[in-house]
A and B are shown apart, each in its own frame.
Chain A
Amino acid sequence: MLETGIQLFINGISLGCAYALITLGFVLVINAIGAVNFAQGDLVMAGGFLSVVFAEFIIANNPHPITGVGLFILPLVLIGMACFGLLFSMVTYTPLKSCPPATVFISTIAAGLIIQHGINAGFGPEPQIGPALISSGTLAIGTLTLSKQQIAIIVSASFLILCVGFLMNKTQLGRQLRAAAQDPEVAETIGVNGAQCVALTFSIAIALAGAAGLLLSNQFFITTSDGGLFMLKAYIAVTLGGWGRLDGAVIAAIAIGLFEVIVATLVSYILAEALLFVALLLILLFRPSGLFAEAIQRRT
């Protein structure tokens, strides 16, 4: 009974960590441009497919199964998706940067459609399995059977999140990014290039999405229509965590993962989903600014 509980707890944390990666990228972009990137879920899915491509390439040239091929592919995916992120921001944001946020909704929606159906046309509709980070086997600790991939997800997601946190809070570059996000005009006056910062933020955000895709694609397989679900979870997490707060978003995302698994075990999946929304609505009712205070309060 206890083992099941621990197992479920780890499952929840693992799922939550993957959500957290997606949400972190999501909130970085929100802070940078004040608009929601509707393609975030599809970008996660794209990252998953990219890792499948890399894995097939490596395996084609190396017939022996390699342990830890995922670890090798992870930086490739990060770099690849970061480059794609630059392209993405150039197409969906830069031409529209002086327009109201509604236009960026549409441009990212359109980009998401292109990504989703482009991959569908290129790969076909079959579900794919991505490379395992270390291996897809299991680890026995006492009476527990933990999936190695799940542990890998928790470890690598935490590592990436901490890296981003360190970048944003402790480095000069991170300070510049935050300054440009908070007040682009003033940032320009002190020599911070707003456009570059936005592009860089998109790169980081989409690299994170790609990493999430890699991690999820082995544990849960990947299909082209998976994008919508990830977007929804990220959106909920960002709002619950206090719009614009990085730490709040990450915590909320992990909480959502745990909530889903625990409630599904205690009651049912349908109720888990329904209760998530009900909880969301109740929280908004009583704390209209999310669980944590908003990052920026308006001075009246």
Chain B
Amino acid sequence: MIRLLQVLTILINITLFPVWLKADESYIPILVPVTGFLSLEGTAQRNGAIQALDKAPINLNIKYEVSDTATSPEVAVTALHRALSRGQPAAIAAPIFGTQMLAMLPIAKRASVALITVSGTAKLTELNNPFIFRFFPGDSVVKVAHARYIHEVLGAKRPALLYQTTAYGQSGYSHLSRILKENGTPLVFEEALAPSVKDMLPALTKLKASNPDVILLHLHSTPTALVIRQARNSGIELPIVAGSAMHQPSTARLLKADQLRGVCAETAASPISELNNEVIKFTTEYKKRFATAPDAFALAQYDGMNMVIAALKSGAKTAIEVRNWLATNTFKGLAMSYKSDGKGNMAHDATIVCYDGKTRIPKIIQRYLNVDGVF
């Protein structure tokens, strides 16, 4: 009886298709949200990772697998366990979703595998976990840049903020409001919007009444476009500085070029705006392969995977060796140069892009390099 159970167990495990790896193959699972409300960003992660891994040198024999983490930490944890059971990952591309990352971190630590993510949630690198590597500048970089831009360049004194009631939004809000207060220009208006809110007029009405001189947005893609459109339609011509959702080409696509005049976005990079040949090559290939334009998340994940490939190229074999290489080396990626600050924050530059009202492709207006002084 027991033997029968054991046999059946083995059969079931086989049907779950473990990845049979040969001796010098490397296994890299890609665990990202391709369904649910973060599917836009998760798909960008996936695409960027795949583009990098497909171009890796053949002799590294990299095998990768994409697994959905959907919208809850529970699914992400299950995906991670599955990935760990199907082989020995050299590193894992991990979701942009902060809460999912928080749940995955202890497991990654126990399995000694590095998580390569583009999540901006500050807390990830505050937990003394040596296995997190964040290739997107955290809120402590981008929000500082955001605030510096409106302070130094726009000279704004009365900022108003609309932010999302998601982890992304709430985290951005807490950083921004603190920094603005420290600068002596506290928020004159703030309101939290659920991602499902459609009609922006109530918020804009109250916002107008508080007489701001710049509108800050920290919303996801669709709500950002909704606010901008409705603001411009209502005759609000104030400058708008949005979060990274604005730079995403899919957001700009929802708006007409003239509605975008006076709109800027804070981001790590904007691949479609770069004039650098390498980036243009990346963008062209990406567009051809995935039928859509890449955003900073795709580029960051691309850079992150390439750093892992560089680690493998330099001889790191096990996950620990890869991790150690990532922690101690500098890597020149397409978006910027990456170096760990000791806690896993690899990206330290931010960019402000602005739209001129004539085209949907923004121009790079300002770069803030080495914002937190790691280099």
A pairs with B: yes
Q: Which residues from chain A sit less than 8 Å from chain B, CB to CB? A: 4, 7-8, 11-12, 15, 117, 120, 124-127, 129, 138, 145, 147, 216, 219-221, 223-226, 229, 260-261, 264-265, 268-270, 272-273
B199/A260 in contact, CB under 8 A: yes
B194/A269 in contact, CB under 8 A: yes
Q: When chains A and B are docked, how far (Å) is the Cα of A229 from the Cα of B199?
A: 14
A-B contact pairs, 29 of them (CB 8 A): A7-B201, A7-B234, A15-B199, A120-B39, A124-B292, A125-B34, A125-B39, A125-B43, A126-B250, A127-B221, A127-B251, A129-B253, A138-B233, A145-B233, A145-B235, A219-B198, A221-B225, A223-B222, A225-B37, A225-B39, A226-B196, A261-B199, A264-B203, A265-B201, A269-B193, A269-B197, A269-B202, A270-B165, A273-B194
Most chain A beta carbons < 10 A, residue from B196, B199, B201, B225: B199
Q: When chains A and B are docked, how far (Å) is the Cα of A226 from the Cα of B39?
A: 13
Neighbouring A residues of B235 by C-beta, 8 Å: 145
> With A147-B233, A273-B194 known to touch, is A8 a contact of B205 (CB < 8 Å)?
yes
> With A4-B205, A8-B202, A269-B202 known to touch, is A221 a contact of B193 (CB < 8 Å)?
no
A220/B40 in contact, CB under 8 A: no
B65 near A: Cβ within 8 Å? Answer: no
B39 and chain A: residue at smallest CB distance:
A125
Q: When chains A and B are docked, how far (Å) is the Cα of A265 from the Cα of B226?
A: 17
A14 and chain B: residue at smallest CB distance:
B199
Which residue in A8, A126, A268 is a CB contact (below 8 Å) of B191?
A268
Neighbouring B residues of A127 by C-beta, 8 Å: 40, 221-222, 225, 250-251, 254
A220 and chain B: residue at smallest CB distance:
B198
Which residue in A11, A126, A221, A269 is a CB contact (below 8 Å) of B292?
A126
> With A124-B292, A269-B193 known to touch, is A145 a contact of B234 (CB < 8 Å)?
yes
A69 CB → nearest B CB, Å: 16
Number of residue pairs spanning A and B whose beta carbons lie under 8 angstroms apart: 83
A119 CB → nearest B CB, Å: 11
Neighbouring B residues of A229 by C-beta, 8 Å: 196
Other 17 A-B pairs with CB < 8 A, given A221-B225, A269-B194, A270-B194: A12-B199, A120-B35, A125-B43, A138-B233, A219-B198, A221-B254, A226-B196, A229-B196, A265-B201, A265-B205, A265-B206, A268-B191, A269-B192, A269-B197, A269-B202, A270-B165, A272-B202
* Count class of interface residues, chain B: 35 or more
A273 and chain B: residue at smallest CB distance:
B194
Neighbouring B residues of A11 by C-beta, 8 Å: 199, 201
Which residue in A117, A125, A220 is a CB contact (below 8 Å) of B226?
A220
A137 and chain B: residue at smallest CB distance:
B233
Neighbouring B residues of A4 by C-beta, 8 Å: 205
Neighbouring B residues of A125 by C-beta, 8 Å: 34, 39-40, 42-43
Q: Can you list, as one digit per residue, whether each of B171-204 has a CB less than 8 Å from chain A (1) or not (0)?
A: 0000000000000000000011110111101110
Q: When chains A and B are docked, how far (Å) is the Cα of A93 from the Cα of B349?
A: 56
B155 near A: Cβ within 8 Å? Answer: no
Q: Can you list, as one digit per residue, whether each of B42-61 has a CB less than 8 Å from chain A (1) or not (0)?
A: 11000000000000000000
B34 and chain A: residue at smallest CB distance:
A125
Neighbouring A residues of B233 by C-beta, 8 Å: 138, 145, 147
B315 near A: Cβ within 8 Å? Answer: no
A221 CB → nearest B CB, Å: 5
Neighbouring B residues of A226 by C-beta, 8 Å: 196
Q: When chains A and B are docked, how far (Å) is the Cα of A269 from the Cα of B235?
A: 22
Which residue in A126, A147, A224 is a CB contact (below 8 Å) of B253?
A126
A49 CB → nearest B CB, Å: 14
Which residue in A12, A117, A216, A270 is a CB contact (below 8 Å) of B35?
A117
B343 CB → nearest A CB, Å: 31
Interface positions, chain B 4-61, Cβ under 8 Å from A, are 34-37, 39-40, 42-43
B37 and chain A: residue at smallest CB distance:
A225
Q: When chains A and B are docked, how far (Å) is the Cα of A9 from the Cα of B289?
A: 46
A270/B36 in contact, CB under 8 A: no
B192/A270 in contact, CB under 8 A: yes
Q: When chains A and B are docked, how far (Å) is the Cα of A220 from the Cα of B201?
A: 12
Q: Can you list, as one digit per residue, whether each of B231-250 has a CB less than 8 Å from chain A (1) or not (0)?
A: 00111000000000000001
Q: 6 tightest CB-CB pairs across the interface, nearest first?
A: A125-B39, A264-B202, A265-B202, A126-B250, A220-B198, A125-B40
B368 CB → nearest A CB, Å: 28
B192/A261 in contact, CB under 8 A: no
Neighbouring A residues of B250 by C-beta, 8 Å: 126-127
Q: When chains A and B are docked, how far (Å) is the Cα of A17 from the Cα of B56?
A: 54
